[in-house]
Structure 1
Amino acid sequence: MIDLTASLPPLSLYIHLPWCVKKCPYCDFNSHQADRFEKEGKLPEDAYLAQLLADLDADLAYVAGRPIQTAFIGGGTPSLMSEDFYYRLMDALRDKLTWVDNAEITMEANPGTFEQEKFRHFRQAGINRLSIGIQSFQPTLLTTLGRIHNREEAIHAVEKSRLAGFDNINIDLMHGLPEQSLDMALDDLALAIQLDPEHLSWYQLTIEPNTEFYRRPPALPEDNTLWGIQDAGQAQLEKHGYAQYEVSANAKQNRRAAHNLNYWRFGDYLGIGAGAHGKVTLPDGQIFRTRKTRHPNHYLNTLPEALVIKESIEQEDLPLEFMMNRLRLFETFDLQDYQRYTYQALPDALLKACNTAIKKGFLDAEQWSNGKVQTTEKGKLFLNELLELFLS
Structure 2
Amino acid sequence: MLVPPPLSLYVHIPWCVQKCPYCDFNSHALKTELPELDYIDALIDDLETDLSAYQLVNGVRPLHSIFIGGGTPSLISPSEIGRLLTAIEQRIPFSDDIEITMEANPGTVEAGRFDAYRQAGVNRISIGIQSFQNEKLERLGRIHGADEAIRAAGLAKDAGLNSFNVDLMHGLPDQSVEDAISDLKQAIALDPPHLSWYQLTIEPNTLYYSKPPTLPDDDDLWDIFEQGHQLLTEAGYQQYEISGYSKPGKQCQHNLNYWRFGDYLGIGCGAHGKISFEDGRIIRTVKVKHPRGYLQADKPYLTQETNVADCERPFEFFMNRFRLLEACPKQDYPTRTGLPLSSIEPAIDWAISQNYLQDTGEQWQITEHGKLFLNDLLAAFVEDDDE
CA contact (8 A) 2:46 2:301 kept: no
Is structure 2 residue 43 aligned with structure 1 residue 47? no
What is the distance in 2 between the residues matched to 1:275 and 1:22?
18
Equivalent position to 1:311, from 306, 315, 321 = 306
Root mean square deviation, CA, Å: 1.4
Kept after mapping to 2: 8 A contact 1:182/1:229: yes
Normalising to structure 2: TM-score of the pair? 0.95
Partner of 2:372: 381
What does 1:160-309 align with in structure 2 at a 5 Å threshold?
160-309=155-304
Q: How many residues align?
A: 379
Q: Say which SS state the counterpart of residue 25 (structure 2) adopts.
A: coil
User: 2:327 maps to what in 1?
Assistant: 332
Partner of 2:13: 17
Alignment of 1:88-127 (within 5 A): 88-127=83-122
Return structure 1 stretches of 4+ with deviation > 6 angstroms. none
What letter matches 2:15 in structure 1? Answer: W
1:16 partner letter: H
Unpaired segments ≥5 residues, structure 2: none
Opposite residue 357 of structure 1, the aligned amino acid is A
Q: Deviations over 1:43-71 (max 9, x none)?
A: 11111111111100111033262000000
Q: For 1:358 and 1:336, how far apart are their aligned partners in 2?
A: 18
Alignment identity in percent? 52
Work out the CA distance in 1 between the residues paired with 2:154 and 2:294: 36
Q: Where does residue 363 of structure 1 map in the other structure?
A: 357
Aligned-partner Cα distance in 1 for 2:47–2:301: 13
Say if 2:294 and 2:301, in contact at 8 Å, map to a contact too. no
TM-score normalized with structure 1 length: 0.94
Matched AA of 1:116: A
Distance 1:200 1:306, change over 3 A: closer
Structure 1: any 5+ residue segments left out of the alignment? none
Retained in 2: the 8 A contact 1:110–1:134? Answer: yes
Q: SS at the partner of 2:352?
A: helix
Matched AA of 2:25: F
Tell whether the 8 Å contact from 1:135 to 1:172 is kept in structure 2 after alignment: yes
Shift of 1:224: 0.6
**Counterpart for residue 28 of structure 1:** 24
| Distance of aligned partners of 1:145 and 1:97 in 2 relative to their CA distance in 1, 3 Å threshold | same
Query: 2: CA distance between counterparts of 1:378 and 1:252?
Result: 26
> Aligned residue for 2:381?
390
Offset, 1:21: 0.5
Structure 1 range deviating more: 368-377 or 204-213: 368-377
User: Shift in Å at residue 181 of structure 1?
Assistant: 1.1
Give per-residue Cα distances to partners, 1:269-325, cap 9 Å, x unaligned: 000000100000123110011010100000000112243410111110000000000
Of 99-108 and 110-119, deviating more is 110-119
Conserved? CA contact 2:157–2:192, under 8 Å: no
